[in-house]
Structures are given as C-alpha cells and as structure tokens.
Homo-oligomer: A and B are copies of this chain.
Amino acid sequence: MFLPRKILEMKLLALLAEDSGQGDITTDLVIPSNSTSNASIIAREAGVIAGIEEISVLLSSSGLRNRSLIADGSTVKAEQRILEIQGDTRTILSIERTALNIMSRMSGIATKTRRLKDELREAKLNTVLACTRKTAPGLGFFDKKAVFLGGGDTHRLHLDDLILIKDNHVAAAGNIGKALRKVKLRASFSKKIEIEVATLQDALGAAKLGVDIILLDNFKPGQIRKTVKTLEKEGLRRRVMLEASGGITSQNLLVFASTGVDIVSLGELTSNTKSLDLSLEILRT
C-alpha cells in the first residue's frame, strides 16, 4: 500500500481540513507568530505503533521538521518517545489533534492485530488473520495499513480487487453454479474468485466448480472441521483456500483458527477499536 507522497498528503490534508474550520482561534490569540518549539509524540501506554509515515508526511507538508525514533510496526513501552518535531509553535498546536487521532487509531488497530497474531503464533498456528471491509467509513486505507503493520492481512482494498460472490449474488443468479459460470465467462484473469457458502454441500460444490477461495460464512467450528475433512477426503482441499468468517472474535479466535482453515477474518479488527493513548508534549525553545 505504498502511495506517492503527494497522494498520501492529499488524503491527510482532507482529514486536517475537517478539524481546522476557520482556524485555531486560541492559538492565534495566545501564541506569537514567531514562536518555535521542540515537541515529541509520546506513547502513554504500550503497544504497536502505526502511522509514522502518515504523521511524518503531514508534519513535513506544513514545514515542520520531524524525525521518527522508531519504525512503523515497532512495539513501544509506556512513556516511550516516538517522534520528534521542531518548528513553528502555532502550526504544531493546530495540527496536534489531527496527527494524534490518526496515529492513535492506527496504532490501536495495529496493537490489537499484533496481539491476536501473537496468540496464533504461540498456539503454533499460521492461519492468516484478516480484516474485512468493516472499517471506519472513508478510512479504509488507514485502517487496513494498520492491520498490515500489525501483522494481519488486508483482504479486499476496494470493491474492485477480488471477485467475492456473496449470498445476495448467488440468490440473484439462482445458484452457485450459475453465479460462477457468469463470473468465469468474463472475469479478468488477474483477479482471484472467492465465493461465500452457507453449507458443507455448497462448499463441496464450489470446490468442484473451481474457485480460488471459499468463504465459510457463519460456520460453527465443528462444521468447519467437517468441511475441511470432507474436502480432504474428496481430494479437493489443496485446490482451494478456506476462509472462516462471521461470529469470530478475539475471544474465540483460537477455536476457529485451529479448525484447519487457511484464513480467519474478523470485522472486529477495524470496527471495534480502542485508540492507543498517545500525546504530544511541547518543549519551548
């Protein structure tokens, strides 16, 4: 998800503009126009930091010098310094909240993702831990980049980068076979095809018809296990990837991940988020 600097800057400035209104009236009245400061962004709790590239572009674009002390995706302890800033005090104060909001949200998502990924690792499971499109509205880029930095899988970035045939598509087409035929007729060779199924029967059918990924929607762990076994028995298991989705939470993650699926996906990674506590501290010069 590498974006040319200016394209990233445009995304970030749209976020900043929303908070700016007609300008920071307090700072304007209190801080002299020639005041400069040194400042640091500091973690108030331990976690995985994401958003350093974003904040760095945002600060630089407003003429603030800055230097990150750690890399995106690094773990920090409470009270650890993340980034040093130097420049116009009024600019620092008027950007502060937007910058912290971006990095806190991204770091919160990265931290949770990393914790769950670590749980999988400790359980000797190399199941892929994926997020879904249940992001904060408009923040798909930032939310998914945070999942990636935490060690998770970004799944679809847009509606255009994976063919994912869901229940509503199947229903409209009549059945799985008809939906797949329509797709295969004209889908670009460059895209994978995934299909959502609700029963073992459909999973078997889909595997036979040839898809890249089967999404087992709202399957109980037992059902998933049975599906995996049946596919193995039929010699179809290696042909497809299996994604379990629906009803998976940080609590029951290991149960689902140990069923033999390739991928577990959790909407919760981006829709049930706790921002990491960060703050910006100013040292006037």
**Contact surface of A with B, Cβ cutoff 8 Å:** 1-7, 9-10, 13-32, 35, 61-63, 89-91, 93-95, 97-98, 100-102, 104-105, 108, 128, 130, 133-142, 144-145, 148, 153-166, 168-169, 171-173, 179, 182-183, 185-192, 194, 213, 241, 243, 262-263, 267, 271-275, 282, 284
Contact = CB atoms under 8 A, between A and B. Distances in A.
Contacts of A271: 101, 104-105, 108, 274-275
Contact of A22 (B1, B166, B179, B183): B1
Contacts of A32: 172
Contacts of A9: 6
Given A18-B141, A271-B275, A282-B168, A13 B23 contact: no
A86 to B, nearest CB: 15
Given A20-B159, A133-B19, A160-B161, A29 B182 contact: yes
8 contacts: A15-B137, A22-B140, A23-B159, A153-B190, A154-B190, A162-B191, A172-B284, A189-B213
Number of copies: 6
B262 A29 contact: no
A128 B189 CA distance: 8
A158 B22 contact: yes
B273 A26 contact: no
Contacts of A185: 29
Contacts of A21: 21-22, 157-161
